[in-house]
Amino acid sequence: MSSTAGPVRFGTDGVRGRANVDITAEMALAIGRACVRVFSSPKVILGRDTRVSGPLFESAIAAGVCSEGADAVSLGVVPTPTVAAGSARDGVPGVVISASHNPFADNGIKIFAPGGRKLTDAEQRGVEDAIAAVLDGDRHEGPSGAGIGSIVTDPTVVDSYSDRVIGAVEGRTLAGLKVVVDCANGAASTVGPDILRRLGADITVIADRPDGRNINEGCGSTHPDELQTAVAARGADLGVAFDGDADRVLAVDGRGDLVDGDQIIALCATDLQARGLLAQDTVVVTVMTNLGFRKEMAKRGVTVVDTAVGDRYVLEALSAGGYTLGGEQSGHIIFPAHGTTGDGILSAVVLADLVVRAGRPLSELTAGSMVRLPQVLMNVSVSRPMPDVAHRLAGEIASVETELAGSGRVLLRPSGTESVVRVMAEAPTEAEADRVARRLAAAVERLTATS
């Protein structure tokens, strides 16, 4: 791949696209070399999900790392937070090869800076520039002979990650709790069930037979129907569904009802506050978090800090304020005391522990944690970027908000990855939310037609 294909630009979660089309072996090798150059690290930790293209990109990244004189520590198939944990433990960069919840034909590459943290803007620019230099055929002379790096393994990374997750429950167990675990045929397929078994849970595992092509296919956090059926059929206490790289989780209660990220965060915030562990009585969420969550937190005296959509922004706010809990409606939940990134397995363990300690069904706990307002989401295609769409439709938005009179909420935001404007409306009823969303979507369409 040459520079004529355009520069490699990292979004909030790295690069992602069609494997061997948008994401190529040449790009992966350049990323491996860039990691060593930018961070001057003696080693780089690599992990991947179960996609058929994973070994291709892992091999290419490892080759790039070794060609710069560093060792590539190959963990194989592991959850994203396992790589972050290894990066934090050893103070070296980590690279994850995954397209998260996307179909198997896609793949992606994201980088953790030493310490298991997201890249700063300056680090991201440095990585992008280094990748461009490699792809442009720079004449950088690498090491030779004994200076070339090696591809090695280190099982202690997975062991220490598992021990850390188990340690989050402070010696308690999940004995007697029946849990159905949906691994999305992805990276959680071995580590997730093993951790829950070690904690004593009685588990049934589904979607844990990855074949390289079935990741996220009709399963996992984006397709929880099978999990809902399995929980109800087995009479389980709860179910948990991971996405392809296991950095997010959604839950299902004993009645088979879905429990989303907002509800899980509400439960955790209430529990931490009651135990005096919710720093500054504050929780960090994104602008997409349901109004029902905000109202419940206000009742409990919990301050809600809003960020833009993306776990990077949640992490930045958590770090800046020294807070102890944050996350997204999608199920990315972050406990800074236990990890540097969203962690579906950790979140599942924390939720299960909360249910055991409460001695009450998850359905009952959820009913008391927040009342979720109906939320309608629509995507409006646009011919060009519209970063100022909310400003240009401020009058229409104000009119809708006046009609809702505090009983609902609307949000317009341009997508950072697609040529669409995302319209969100919340209201006391599904019909009213749908009406409001359609009204604003039509306003966006009119604006697009006249631009």
Mean per-residue pLDDT of the chain: 94
Q: Which one of 53, 67, 74, 100 is the catalytic residue?
A: 100
Selection from 233, 232, 250 nearest residue 241 by Cα: 250
Please give the C-alpha separations between residue 292 and each of 340, 364, 400, 423, in angstroms, as whole numbers: 27, 17, 18, 18
pLDDT of residue 5 exceeding 50, the answer is: no
pLDDT of residue 322 exceeding 90, the answer is: yes
pLDDT of residue 3 exceeding 60, the answer is: no
Mean pLDDT throughout 115-123? 93
Selection from 236, 283, 242 nearest residue 263 by Cα: 283
* Sheet of strand 258-259: strand arrangement: 202-206, 178-182, 238-242, 249-253, 258-259
Active-site residue flag, 100:
yes
What is the domain partition of the chain in residue ranges? Answer: 3-154, 160-367, 375-450
**What are 16-40's pLDDT values in tens digits?**
999 999 999 999 999 999 999 999 9
pLDDT of residue 86: 98
pLDDT of residue 368: 83
146 against 13, higher pLDDT:
146
pLDDT of residue 13 exceeding 80, the answer is: no
Mean pLDDT throughout 239-256? 97
User: So what CATH class is 160-367?
Assistant: alpha beta
pLDDT band at 1 (very low <50, low <70, confident <90, very high): very low
Host H or E run for residue 357: helix 344-358
**What are 340-357's pLDDT values in tens digits?**
999 999 999 999 999 999
**What are 251-267's pLDDT values in tens digits?**
999 999 999 999 999 99
pLDDT of residue 4 exceeding 70, the answer is: no
pTM of the model: 0.92
CA distance 224 to 142: 48
CA distance 171 to 38: 40
pLDDT of residue 417: 63
Count CB neighbours of 232 within 10 A.
17
Residues shown for the chain: 451
| Tokens at 58, concatenated | 């892992």
81 against 418, higher pLDDT:
81
The set of residues, in sequence order, having a beta carbon less than 8 Å from that of 39 and lying 6+ positions away, is: 92, 93, 113, 114
CA distance 423 to 411: 6
Hey, which of 128-142, 207-221, 388-402 has the most confident mean pLDDT?
207-221
**What are 196-228's pLDDT values in tens digits?**
999 999 999 999 999 999 999 999 999 999 999
pLDDT of residue 149: 97
- Cβ atoms 364, 98 nearer than 8 A: no
pLDDT of residue 179: 98
pLDDT of residue 387: 87
CA angle 35–336–81, rounded 5-degree value: 45
pLDDT of residue 416 exceeding 90, the answer is: no
Question: For domain 3-154, which architecture applies?
Answer: 3-Layer(aba) Sandwich (3.40)
| Tokens at 247, concatenated | 């950095």
Helix (H, G, I), strand (E, B) or coil at 182: strand
Bridge partners of 333, per DSSP, are 327
- Cβ atoms 58, 74 nearer than 8 A: yes
pLDDT of residue 59: 98
Domains 3-154 and 375-450 share a fold: no
Q: Which CATH number fits domain 375-450: 3.60.20.30, 3.90.950.10, 3.40.50.720, 3.30.310.50?
A: 3.30.310.50
Selection from 66, 44, 158, 61 nearest residue 108 by Cα: 61
pLDDT of residue 435 exceeding 60, the answer is: yes
